């Protein structure tokens, strides 16, 4: 390495010395580090404040936006398969939206806001849960 590269190294790390602690501080300042170990529960909030419609039960929180559906799965599902469908008034499956697996936040793009959605285990052929609007 020549002296110019050594200087680039030095100033890169001096910059990181400032930037990385700032990232760490601001990302941790609201975390309850020693109290919470798993936030995959009811405390998760929607990413946007005002959905067109929203729904919540013991398993899911659902927000409909004009072009997306945001689903918060509160706990990891034990079902071998879990597919989200739009459903009609008679709970009949219409269109596949996507799949859920582990607890967390999922986003799916949609063209039209469905009346309701349902989560089906297609292997066992059972309804896991659905929205009720």
Partner 1 sequence: MGLDYQLVLWNKHKKTYDKIIVISMLLYIALFAVVTVIFNSETSIETLVIRAFGSLAIVMLHIILVIGPLSRLSSKFLPILYNRRHLGVSMFIAALTHGGFSIFQFHALGDVNPFYSLFTSNMDYNSLTNFPFQVLGFFALLILFTIASTSHDFFLKNLSPILWKRLHMLVYLAYALIIAHVFLGAFQQETSPFTIGFLLIGFVVIISLHIITAFKEGKIDSVKAERDTEGWLKVCEINEIEEDRAKIFTVNNERIAVFKYEGKLSAVHNVCKHQGGPLGEGKIIDGCITCPWHGYQYLPHNGQSPPPFTEKVATYELKLTESIVYINPAAFEEGTEVEPVII
Binding site for partner 1 (CB under 8 A): 1-10, 12-14, 16-17, 19-21, 23-24, 26-28, 30-34, 36-40, 45, 47-48, 68, 75-76, 78, 96-99, 101-102, 104-109
Q: Is there a contact between 97 and 110 (Cβ–Cβ < 8 Å)? A: yes
Minimal distance in Å, beta carbon 89 to partner 1?
A: 23
Minimal distance in Å, beta carbon 63 to partner 1?
A: 13
For partner 1, the closer of residues 36 and 91 by Cβ is 36
* Element containing residue 8 per DSSP (H, E): helix 3-28
Q: Sign of dihedral through CA atoms 32, 38, 41, 45? A: positive
For partner 1, the closer of residues 19 and 126 by Cβ is 19
Distances (CA, A) of 38 to 43, 44, 62, 74, 100: 10, 11, 20, 11, 19
Minimal distance in Å, beta carbon 73 to partner 1?
A: 12
């Amino acid at each position: 390495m020549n002296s110019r590269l050594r200087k680039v190294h030095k100033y890169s790390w001096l910059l990181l010395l400032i930037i990385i602690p700032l990232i760490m501080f601001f990302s941790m300042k609201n975390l309850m580090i020693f109290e919470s170990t798993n936030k995959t529960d009811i405390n998760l909030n929607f990413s946007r404040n005002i959905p067109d419609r929203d729904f919540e039960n013991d398993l899911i929180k659902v927000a409909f936006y004009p072009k997306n559906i945001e689903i918060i799965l509160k706990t990891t599902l034990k079902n071998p398969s879990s597919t989200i469908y739009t459903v009609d008034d008679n709970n009949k499956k219409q269109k596949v939206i996507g799949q859920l697996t582990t607890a967390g936040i999922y986003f799916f793009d949609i063209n039209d806001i469905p009346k309701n959605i349902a989560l089906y285990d297609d292997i066992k052929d059972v309804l896991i849960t659905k929205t009720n609007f």
